[in-house]
Amino acid sequence: MKKKLIAGNWKMNGSLAANASLLQAVLDGSKGMNCQAAVCVPAAYLAQVQTILSGQTLVALGAQDVSAQEVGAFTGEISAGMLNDFSVRYAIVGHSERRQYHAESDATVALKAQRALSAGITPIVCVGETLADREAGKTEEVVKRQLAAVIHTNGHCISEIVVAYEPVWAIGTGRTASPEQAQEVHAVLRAQLKAATSHSDRISILYGGSMNAANAAQLLAQPDIDGGLIGGAALKAPDFLAIMAAGSVSA
């Protein structure tokens, strides 16, 4: 059985001092845990966090986005090749905040995943429905459409991605899909991936809608939930460590 992956998304938070304190506490507290972990940090802190994480293998470095372009006159963009220079292991693509605030389409997200893969970086592909989608009974339609674009663009490489199901209505709201609701959507995504590749067992599907120290164990016990993409709780070492511990138990 593959180990659970617990990935923290710091979003636009952090400072040099706070980062150092947070990461030292996580590294000190996570010794001996039986899970995989990552921190996806703002681009400005990649160099600092790379240095802090060097010399250990439990916590990997992740980025929060990657450009759909390879190189060139794209001011403000950060390419997969640049991320590679900092030994970035994971890159989040298609987070609902990017889709909402930056108008990223399914096609753009698919291309970003392709750019990450071409540089040896594992994309964490986010999919998820809005509250209006869920109330209209369109959850399955929406998440399958979002994932289908990535499958179509990346073909045989699809087994190298990570998928994160993040119901938009549960991100940063304190509302969480019940374990049963989350499992239902994860099972849909698992079936879609199985139809796309014979190596679907390699693909981790994370849950990312306000997972926290209190609900992590129940969510991670579900058969198709392979880990978590953690927002606010990733900024508090005790909470992040508690989720890692829950992932270690259910691994």
pLDDT tens digits along 114-156: 999 999 999 999 999 998 999 899 999 999 999 999 999 998 8
Query: Buried b vs exposed e over 40-58: b needs ≥16 C-beta within 10 Å?
Result: bbbbebbeebeebbeeeeb
What's the pLDDT at 251? Answer: 57
Is 186 annotated as catalytic? no
Catalytic site includes residue 70 = no
Marked catalytic residue, from 97, 129, 166, 186: 166
> Domains of the chain, with CATH numbers?
5-249 (3.20.20.70)
**pLDDT per residue as tens digits for the range 195-226:** 999 999 999 999 998 899 999 999 999 999 99
- Mean pLDDT for back-to-back runs of 10 residues, the chain (251 residues): 94 98 97 95 98 96 98 97 98 96 97 98 97 92 98 94 93 80 97 95 94 95 97 97 92 57
Active-site annotation holder among 95, 104, 160, 186? 95
Q: What is the pTM for the complete model shown?
A: 0.96
